[in-house]
Amino acid sequence: MKLAVQVNEGPYQHQATDSAYHFTKAALEKGHEVFRVFFYHDGVLNGTRLTTPPQDDRNIVNRWVELAEKYDLDLVLCVAAAQRRGLVDDGEAERNGKDATNIAPKFRISGLGQLIEAAIQSDRLVVFGD
């Protein structure tokens, strides 16, 4: 089965991103293909490398990064949502005159078309949100 996953909430505030991570990991471990994880709304905040969660808590951003490294997962942050919430890569920094970036490795910023495409190409779309 080919899956598309949509994440609507940021890390820590809502459990939605935890659920999305555990679901995605379980699907990959069962041998399913995850075509793309698309981060929308506050979900784009999953893609910042600047978090420092408490040592006795899970590291939500790093978990995604490690999963992406292991399974060559496509982690896409919606560009419009990212601009509103201050999620920036090199290209965005240059285009919008920002003096820093905060995107984590393995994440990329792209358009909403990537969500539509994922929904078309995949057998199932699974949405996690508030």
Partner 1 sequence: MADLYTVNKSPFEKNSLEQAIRFSADGASILLIEDGVYGAMAGTAAEGLVKGASGRKFFALRSDVKARGISEDRLIDGVELVDYAGFVDLVESTDKVQAWL
Partner 2 sequence: MSEIKKFMYLNRRAPYGTIYAWESLEVVLIGAAFDQEVSLMFVDDGVFQLVKGSDTSESDMKNFLPTYRTLGDYGVRHMFVDQASLEARGLTTDDLIQVEWEDWETEEEVDNIVEAVDADKFKELMAESDVVFSF
Residues designated catalytic: 78
The reply to whether 41 sits near its own copies by the rule CB under 8 A is yes
Please state the closest distance from residue 67 (CB atom) to its own copies, in A. 19
Binding site partner of 109, from partner 2, its own copies, partner 1, none, Cβ cut-off 5-8 A by kind: none
CA distance 123 to 78: 21
Between the alpha carbon of residue 94 and those of residues 56, 63, 88, 90, 99, the distances in Å are: 37, 28, 10, 6, 8
Q: Given CA atoms 60, 64, 69, 71 in this order, what sign does their dihedral have? A: positive
How many other CB atoms are found less than 10 A from the CB of residue 59? 15
Residues of this chain that interact with its own copies (CB under 8 A) are 10-13, 41-42, 45, 48-54, 57, 61, 80, 83-88, 92, 96, 98, 100-102
Residues of this chain that interact with partner 2 (CB under 8 A) are 6, 8, 12-15, 18, 22, 40-41, 54, 56-58, 80-81, 111-113, 115-117, 119-121, 125, 127, 129-130
